[in-house]
Chains A and B, each alone.
Chain A
Amino acid sequence: MRSVLPVLTVVAAILVIWYGAAVWLNSAWAQDRAARADVELSLGALVADTLSQDKPKLPAPHQVAVELWETVAEKNVTSKRSLVYHGWITLSATLLGFTLGTGLGILLAIGIVHDRAMNNSVMPWLIASQTIPILAIAPMIIVVLNSVGISGLLPKALISTYLSFFPVAVGMVKGLRSPDAMQLDQMRTWNASRSQAFAKLRWPSAMPYLFASLKIAVAAALVGAIVGELPAGAAGGLGARLLAGSYYGQTIQIWSALFAAAALAAVMVGLIGLVQRVVLARMGMVR
């Protein structure tokens, strides 16, 4: 709780800078319009105009807040103009991809930790695979899968899967290897089998690593789902909303979609943090 005041200060500073930038960036357009109408703008009028334009270069925070309120709370959730509707499309792809990616990552990590050949051969490629800018080819994957008749949720979820399995796999490899030699020797003196050592020592001691990775993975999964929605023709979702906004210069729409995405990410990371605290507390691992 010691950090509440500093955080609030930083957030307030960001808001002040944002308002300042909005006035500065939007003033050119306001001046332009005033010059054409042959009126001299007073400072007050200029500021008022920059903060209430229809298609500003940078919308003011309250404009984004109003748009968010209108599209989240006031629209029917089944309406195509509701952000809840678009958010749900993105969220469902994210969750499906995140679940698949987490499962795959854990399985890979178990294989890598227990099999020396797999560690030698798969691990370097796992790392190299992340330098493939998968986000860059996400649109291609969507288009290609669409051409073979797979469309809708699954292609987007696959991109989320790809993005989220890596942090989980790497974190779990680290976590499953975190018991030190002494603890492993102890298991051996107790004549524990490999699966017993796994279930009773390796798996529990990997838990803190798992949760740390899950937080990264869920954020990555959301990014994957959003970028997966970029190819034209996506029926909806926050990514489609971003793209439509950028086509028609609807900056307020872009910013509100961005904030909705940010809020989604924050809520999911927060939820995992909550589960983490409960699980680690029950395991007696609270620091």
Chain B
Amino acid sequence: MLIVAALAVWIAGWALNHWLARRRERWVPLISALIFGATLLLIWELLVRGLAVPAVILPPPSAIAARLADPATQGLLWGDFVQTFVKGALSGFVIGSGAAFVVAVVTDRSPFLQRGLLPVGNFVAALPIIGMAPIMVMWFGFGWQSKAAIVVVMVFFPMLVNTVAGLKETDALQRDLMRTYAAGYWQTLLKLRLPAAAPFIFNGLKIASTLALIGAIVAEFFGSPTRGMGFRISTEVGRLSLDMVWAVIAVAAVAGSAFYGGIALLERAATFWHPSQRER
């Protein structure tokens, strides 16, 4: 019965979105995204109940929501969030992307170094750097410092490659124009090349933002104090209380989306002039 209901929900959501897609108002994409999300959650709930899936395999969304609403859980999750996201991911993100930015600006003055650094950086960016997590835990201990360290290493090369590519974005005509204005190196950098590089820099920051949270969480699998999202996930899986695990995942997903969204908003504010920001 519930399975039939799930099927009905799916068809209803699908039909509703198709009906909405013919309209061209601004709010349509937002609403249809919400409808799709709600449909998914409803189908999940109905299928889990209809097929009698045990809660140790996949808890229904209502159980997860109940877990999230519990004040005791909220306190625990807040502690995990501060430990993993604020201390580990955020500090690593700031240090790593900041360092990459500085290195990119410095190497920008030497074409020789650039030609060497870009291929190596591109290469390193494709490697499974996350494997360094156990090494970082050995070097910097179980605390948040080792998590920040792995995040620094993970975000450094994507950020470096993007910034270096961005600094090359201006063409000879624009640089010549700056020279005819008698602009020095720093003036050219600040007023012409960094603004031109901004879309690339923000691209690097966006990539880094998703890497940061993942790095901080996975590093906790190799040892952590008794709090943190990675610690919570691995211990609660061991105790088979999957509703708690999913609650942590929900927090991580919201935190990650908010982080990415925040950078995207900053990007829109800072690079509003760029063609990629125009309406399709």
- Listed in ascending order, the chain A residues whose CB lies under 8 Å from chain B are 2-3, 5-11, 14, 25, 57, 115-118, 120-125, 128, 130-133, 135-137, 139-140, 143-144, 147-148, 215-216, 219, 222-223, 226-227, 230, 238-239, 242-243, 245-246, 249, 251, 254-255, 257-258, 261-262, 265-266, 269
Contacts and interface: CB of A to CB of B under 8 A. Distances in A.
A222 B128 CA distance: 7
Nearest to A25: B139
Given A117-B32, A121-B33, A139-B221, A226 B131 contact: yes
Interface in B110-151: 112-117, 119-120, 123, 126-128, 130-132, 134-135, 137-139
Contacts of B217: 133, 135-136
B35 A227 contact: no
Contacts of A242: 131, 134
Given A121-B36, A122-B36, A144-B57, 5 more contacts: A120-B17, A121-B35, A135-B218, A226-B128, A246-B134
Given A3-B119, A117-B18, A269 B257 contact: no
Given A144-B242, A254-B134, A121 B32 contact: yes
Contact of A131 (B57, B116, B117, B257): B257
B96 interface: no
Contacts of A223: 128, 130
Nearest to A177: B280
Contacts of A251: 135, 138
B212 to A, nearest CB: 10
Main secondary structure of the interface of B (DSSP, over half): helix
20 contacts: A3-B119, A6-B115, A7-B119, A10-B113, A10-B116, A117-B21, A122-B36, A130-B210, A131-B259, A132-B249, A133-B214, A133-B217, A136-B213, A136-B249, A140-B242, A147-B56, A219-B127, A223-B130, A226-B130, A262-B127
Contacts of B20: 117, 120
Interface stretch (B3-11, B170-178, B186-194, B230-238): B230-238
Contacts of B116: 3, 5-11
Interface residues of B, number: 58
B260 interface: yes
A227 B218 contact: yes
B127 A136 contact: no
Contact of A3 (B29, B115, B131, B139): B115
Contacts of A226: 128, 130-131
A139 B234 contact: yes
Nearest to B280: A177
Given A7-B120, A147-B57, A254-B135, A137 B115 contact: no
A215 B218 CA distance: 23
Nearest to B31: A120
B112 A148 contact: no
A139 B134 CA distance: 16
B28 interface: yes
A124 B117 CA distance: 35
Interface of B: 14, 17-18, 20-22, 28-29, 32-33, 35-37, 40, 56-58, 112-117, 119-120, 123, 126-128, 130-132, 134-135, 137-139, 210, 213-214, 217-218, 221-222, 229-230, 233-234, 237, 242, 245, 249, 252-253, 256-257, 259-260
Interface-central residue, A117, A133, A249, by most chain B CB under 10 Å: A133
B42 to A, nearest CB: 14
A261 B127 contact: yes
A276 to B, nearest CB: 14
B130 A7 contact: no
Contact of B127 (A124, A131, A249, A266): A266
A262 B131 CA distance: 10
Contacts of B213: 131, 133, 136
Given A132-B256, A137-B245, A266-B127, A10 B29 contact: no
Contacts of A139: 221, 233-234, 237
**Residue among A14, A230, A249 with most chain B CB within 10 A:** A230
Nearest to A143: B237
B214 A136 contact: yes
A178 to B, nearest CB: 13
A135 B130 contact: yes
Nearest to B13: A121
Contacts of A258: 128, 131-132, 135
A6 B112 contact: yes
Contacts of B234: 139
A274 to B, nearest CB: 15
Nearest to B137: A246
